[in-house]
Structure 1
Amino acid sequence: MNALARHRVYVTSDLATSGVVGLERDQTHYLINVLRLESGDRVIVFNGRDGEFEAEITAVQKKSVDLTLLDCLRPQEEVPDLMLAFAPVKRARIDYIAEKATELGVGIIQPMMTEFTVMSRVNSDRLMANAVEAAEQTGRITLPDIREPVSFSRLLEDWPASRHIVFCDEKQAGSHPHAMADQVADLSGPAAIFIGPEGGFSPLERDKLNAMENAIPVSLGANILRADTAMVAALSVWQAVAGAWRNAHGST
């Protein structure tokens, strides 16, 4: 059976062939009571550090399950050096952002408090839970670094010259749909995609970004997109022309 066709489980324990991993209560409930798995069934486990392993359910208790690790299916991969810096939005949409950013290969998720940001609190544990679920479902074996919220100004202090900033600017709306692809196609190395709040970046914030040599304002087309939609569009364009998908072979 293909590894992606089996149920994948994220664990925090270290992983090594022949090792035994105990699952938490919620994971036990999901595997045994929801998926109806039993002793002898196999799953895929990963921890974001030691690669991906096939594992067999070898002990089932009422509130716990033990997995015996079998073969290593994939060695650990490097976390992509791609940051998503975004202004927090409402709860359901911020869940969506964490989920899709993980699916689209982001290595760092950085909530960013801008002048027009409405939401003042971010539940980092909830963001991580969404990222873990997305990684389990999509076959990713790395997890993004979920960072604590920081102000726009603080984020730009001592910004490394080696990390490009691609910021989605609604003032650029109306440009040709391929404009962003053309602008970032020749970039390489660490990068950050900046997504502003509903009201966009303030004039002062836009001026700060435009004054940076390694920052590029981009348009995502004629329409002004919601933050979560802009995030998916921008990350997809980046990955296709400058990121992980550019050199991918055999994918569909």
Structure 2
Amino acid sequence: MHNKLLNVRLYVPDSISKHSIIRLDTLASHYISKVMRATKCNHVKIFNGKDGEWIGEICELSNNIKIRIDKLTRKQVKSKNLTLCFGIVKGTILPNIIRQATEMGVTLLQPIYTQHIATSNINLDKCRKWAIEASEQCERLDIPQILHPISFTDLKKLDTANINFIICDETGNGKKPAEILTNKNNIYIIVGPEGGFSSEELNFAYTFCNGLSLGTRILRVDTAVVSALAYVNEYYYV
């Protein structure tokens, strides 16, 4: 069947409207034509984070595939504000954090410099690529924003009156989720690096943060991210 809907969902930066023509980049075109074995007249899902989700028909197969937009399938819905601040990590943990945070509904990712980070380098272009891939796969309508790193202490300079800062405290001093997840519009979850927060950082954090306990075990950073965000989804964003 030439007009079948492929199991393909793509993010594009272009504006999307009925009957518009979207030209894919070479990577997306290669994936559709070589990996998914698409043919002309096959249909795919398209979204851009602003105009909802659409179904489009492949109208030209080339190194830059063209897709003619047919119909809107899901209207754009604004995600609730949810920020994840995380100590910069290296290796496979970083893409795990970005992908899992995207799947769990984070709208803003803020890397932070802390005393125990193993590296100060972070590739924001790669982070955005991982976020896009995760949004494509989890049926999300938007892409989380990824900011340039800041110092952990700079968080206190933000609008603390309207932000519920929640730091994941592995020392056992944190509270239960139901005690600290209030109905403020902005929740900032703060997760430390692989070496955890220093005692000085924790003391500083408690001048403007609520402490969250994730249990008695010491978790990997990416596991802590999922655990904390699961609490947010259960107790607040329901």
**What is the TM-score normalised by the length of structure 2?**
0.93
Is there any run of 5+ residues in structure 1 with no aligned partner, and where? 247-252
State how 1:236-247 maps to structure 2 within 5 Å. Answer: 236-243=230-237, 246=238
| One-letter code aligned to 1:200 | G
**What is the Cα deviation at residue 161 of structure 1?**
1.3
Summarize the alignment of residues 167-246 of structure 1 with structure 2, pairs less than 5 Å apart: 167-172=167-172, 180-212=176-208, 215-243=209-237, 246=238
CA contact (8 A) 2:164 2:182 kept: no
Structure 1 CA distance, aligned partners of 2:213 and 2:6? 38
* Secondary structure of 1:119 counterpart: coil
- CA shift, 1:185, in A, is 4.4
| Length, aligned pairs only | 234
For the Cα contact (< 8 Å) 1:54–1:69, is it kept in 2?
Answer: yes
In the TM superposition, structure 1's runs of 4+ consecutive aligned residues that sit over 4 Å from their partners are none
Partner amino acid for 1:16?
Answer: S
Are the equivalent residues in 1 in contact too, given 2:193–2:221 (CA < 8 A)? yes
Report the alpha carbon displacement of residue 105 of structure 1 after superposing the two structures with TM. 0.2
Instruction: Work out whether residues 131 and 144 of structure 1, in 8 Å CA contact, stay in contact via their aligned partners in 2.
Output: yes
> Partners in 1 of 2:231 and 2:34 — Cα distance?
41
- 1:179-211 Cα deviation digits (max 9, x unpaired): 533223443321000001122212222122211
Q: Higher mean Cα deviation, 131-140 or 201-210? A: 201-210
Equivalent-residue separation in structure 2 for 1:203 and 1:51 (angstroms): 45
In the alignment, the residues of structure 1 paired with residue 159 and residue 202 of structure 2 have an alpha-carbon distance, to the nearest angstrom, of 16
**Seq. identity, %:** 32
Alpha-carbon shift at residue 67 of structure 1 (Å): 0.3
- Output aligned runs, 1:1-252, within 5 Å: 6-61=7-62, 63-172=63-172, 180-212=176-208, 215-243=209-237, 246=238
Any conservation in 2 of the 1:184–1:241 contact (CA below 8 Å)? no
Superposed displacement of residue 219, structure 1: 0.8
Secondary structure of the structure 2 residue equivalent to 1:238: helix
The C-alpha deviation readout for 1:18-52, integer Å capped at 9, x for no partner, is 10000000100000000001111000000111111
1:59 counterpart letter in structure 2: E
Backbone CA RMSD of aligned residues = 1.6
SS at match of 2:128: helix
Distance 1:116 1:187 in 2: 32
